C-alpha cells in the first residue's frame, strides 16, 4: 500500500482524506498496528485505483 500511495504522490493524510477516514487511520494500517475492516480495505483500494484483493497480497 505504501508504494501505491507514493506512486500517487500522496502523504498518509491525503490518502485518508480521499477515503473519508480519520487522518491517523492510514499510518496505523501501514504500521500494522490496527486491524482493518473489509469495507475500509475497499475504500483504500478505490482511492488507490487497484482491485481490493491487491491490497491483501504480500508485497513483492
The Cα 53–Cα 17 span in angstroms is 21
Has residue 58 been placed in a domain?
no
Cα dihedral 21/38/35/1 (nearest 10): -70
Structural domain span for residue 30: 2-48
* CATH label of the domain that carries residue 11: 1.10.260.40
The pLDDT value recorded for residue 60 is 65
For 3-51, what is each residue's pLDDT tens digit?
999 999 999 999 999 999 999 999 999 998 988 999 999 999 999 999 9
The Cα 33–Cα 53 span in angstroms is 20
Has residue 18 been placed in a domain?
yes
Q: Which residues contact 19 (CB under 8 A, 6 or more apart)?
A: 25, 26, 40, 43, 44, 46, 47
Q: For residue 59, is pLDDT > 80?
A: no
pTM of the model: 0.89
The Cα 59–Cα 24 span in angstroms is 22
Amino acid at each position: 500500500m505504501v508504494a501505491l500511495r507514493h506512486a500517487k504522490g500522496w502523504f498518509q493524510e491525503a490518502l485518508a482524506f480521499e477515503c473519508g477516514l480519520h487522518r491517523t487511520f492510514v499510518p496505523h494500517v501501514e504500521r500494522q498496528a490496527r486491524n482493518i475492516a473489509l469495507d475500509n480495505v475497499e475504500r483504500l483500494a478505490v482511492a488507490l485505483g487497484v482491485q481490493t484483493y491487491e491490497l491483501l497480497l504480500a508485497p513483492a
